[in-house]
Amino acid sequence: MLGRVNHIAIAVPDLAAAAAIYRDTLGARVSQAQALPEHGVTVVFVELENTKVELLEPLGADSPIASFLAKNPSGGMHHICYEVEDILKARDQLRQDGARVLGDGQPKIGAHGKPVLFLHPKDFQGTLIELEQV
């Protein structure tokens, strides 16, 4: 079911500072910051050779990463996104195996304009998993 690792997301309290660390200290290629108000985050992409890291800063009052940053004020690894071919088939199979899909189970359009779903971290060793249909 799992294809490529699309990205690893890291929640950060200060996006400009984090982007500077990845660009200047770690010598990686980083994108301009993009505000995604419909997702409650501003994002910078760190482009690696085989995948990417997404640095996420909360945007607006109801950011989905606000509670994570309240618990982890310095930031931290937030989720892993895997690509799948058919997100509805993946969802149904996962549910059949007893895994919990977050929200109402209907794929939303994610930060890359593609359908995504999130899986409950308690069913996956404390790791929040995003599935993205590619």
132 in active site: no
Element (H, E) at 76: strand 76-84
Dihedral (CA of 125, 68, 73, 112) sign: positive
For residue 121, CA distances in Å to 100, 104, 109, 129 come to 9, 16, 20, 7
From 47, 49, 57, 130, the catalytic residue? 130
Contact track, its own copies, 46-65, x by CB under 8 A: --xxxx-x-x----------
CB of residue 22 vs its own copies: minimum separation in angstroms? 8
Three-state secondary-structure class, residue 112: coil
Stretch that binds its own copies, among 34-42, 58-66, 77-85, 104-112 (CB under 8 A): 77-85
Q: Say whether residue 31 binds its own copies (CB under 8 A).
A: no
Q: Does 5 bind its own copies (CB under 8 A)?
A: yes
